[in-house]
Structure formats: C-alpha cells, structure tokens
Amino acid sequence: MNYFKSRKITYIAMFIVLNIVLTRIGSIRIGFGGVEFGRFGFGGFPTIFASIAMGPVAGGIVGAVGDLIGYWINPMGAYMPHFTLTAALDGIIPALVLRIFKTKQPAFWQLFLAIATTQIITSIILVPYFLYKLFGVPLVYKIPSAIIGQAFHIPIYTAFARILLKRVNFNPVLSKN
C-alpha cells in the first residue's frame, strides 16, 4: 500500500518539475509594462495530465505548487495569488469533468471536452479577467490572443493525453481523491 502512495507522490513531483520547466523555461513569454501579457508553450499540460491520470487533488497540487515554485525561481512582476488559484483549477477541473462520464478509459471526445472546459474557464476567462482587474490589461487585447492560443493547445493537449494514457501504465483514477 505504501508503494502506491510513494509512487503517486513521485509522479506528482515529476509533473511539478515538468510544469515548471515547460512554463518558465520552455515557453515564449511576452511582457508588457512589467506584467506578463502572454505566454506560449506547453506548461499547462503536466497539470492537466496529472488531473486526468491521478485525480483532481493531484492535479490541483501540481498546478498550485508548480506556480508557487515557478514564481520563486523565475518571477515576472509581483506575486498574485489569483494566478496560483487559476493554476490549481487547471488541475482540478479536468478530472471533475471526466467523472461525469464514469468510464475507466475516456474517449478522445471526453478528453477534449474536459480539457476544453478547463482551458475556457481558466485561460480564456479567468486569466484575462485577472490581468484586467489587477494590471489594467484591456480584455479586447487579451481574450482574442487567449482564444487563438487555446485553439492550438486544446487539440494538442487532448492528443498528447490520449497517447500517454494508452502507452504509459496510468490508470486514469477519476477517483475519490
């Protein structure tokens, strides 16, 4: 029993590291007035996949801890807990959406729906809203760029998640944690 707990903690730590590296180092960041205006990369995928593979608690931990440590390592502007909350939601929402279907192996369209729901709520609605409220970044600039970015990210994240779930020995928990 302890083996599985240790294994899960190890996976969570691995996903946190992947999140930090892909977000802070492997992304193209665009700053405007001392604030990050946009980020293009695959940093959100480890959080989403952790949620799909291990449940909403694990996904939320990966998102929140990855954001906190990533900010500490490579900050851009002042720390705002709003974005840590958004990162945690990136890891909580996919597993909750997948629980609706009650399947052990989600179909492509189910993964697509879970990831799209997550990205619409967090990346297209919450992040632009927080940037507007906190820093005055006009929504008319941020929302269209977020939509364009997610038009690429959602299908790519879905394809990656489907491939990894088939090839790696992850049993999508969609479980009670």
Residue 174 has pLDDT above 70, yes or no: no
Residue 123 in any domain: the answer is yes
For residue 162, the enclosing domain spans 2-93+104-167
Classify the phi-psi angles of 57: left when phi > 0, otherwise alpha if psi is within -120 to 50, otherwise beta: alpha
What pLDDT, in 10s, does the model give residues 122-143? 999 999 999 899 888 888 888 9
Residue 85 in any domain: the answer is yes
Q: What is the CATH number of the domain that holds 45?
A: 1.10.1760.20
Residue 175 in any domain: the answer is no
Residue 73 in any domain: the answer is yes
What per-residue confidence (pLDDT) applies to 24? 80
What per-residue confidence (pLDDT) applies to 88? 97
Hey, what amino acid is at 99? R
What pLDDT, in 10s, does the model give residues 137-169? 888 888 988 898 899 999 999 999 999 998 887
What per-residue confidence (pLDDT) applies to 175? 47
Give the model's confidence band at 4: pLDDT under 50 very low, under 70 low, under 90 confident, else very high.
Answer: low
What pLDDT, in 10s, does the model give residues 91-114? 999 999 999 998 888 999 999 999
What per-residue confidence (pLDDT) applies to 38? 61
Stretch among 65-69, 118-122, 149-153 having the lowest mean pLDDT: 149-153
Say how many domains are in the chain.
Answer: 1
Residue 63 has pLDDT above 80, yes or no: yes
Q: Are 58 and 177 in contact (CB under 8 A)?
A: yes
Q: List the alpha helices (DSSP H) in the chain.
A: 2-20, 45-54, 56-73, 81-99, 108-119, 127-135, 139-167
What per-residue confidence (pLDDT) applies to 2? 56
Hey, what amino acid is at 150? Q
Residue 148 in any domain: the answer is yes
Residue 32 in any domain: the answer is yes
DSSP letter assigned to residue 34:
T
What per-residue confidence (pLDDT) applies to 39? 66
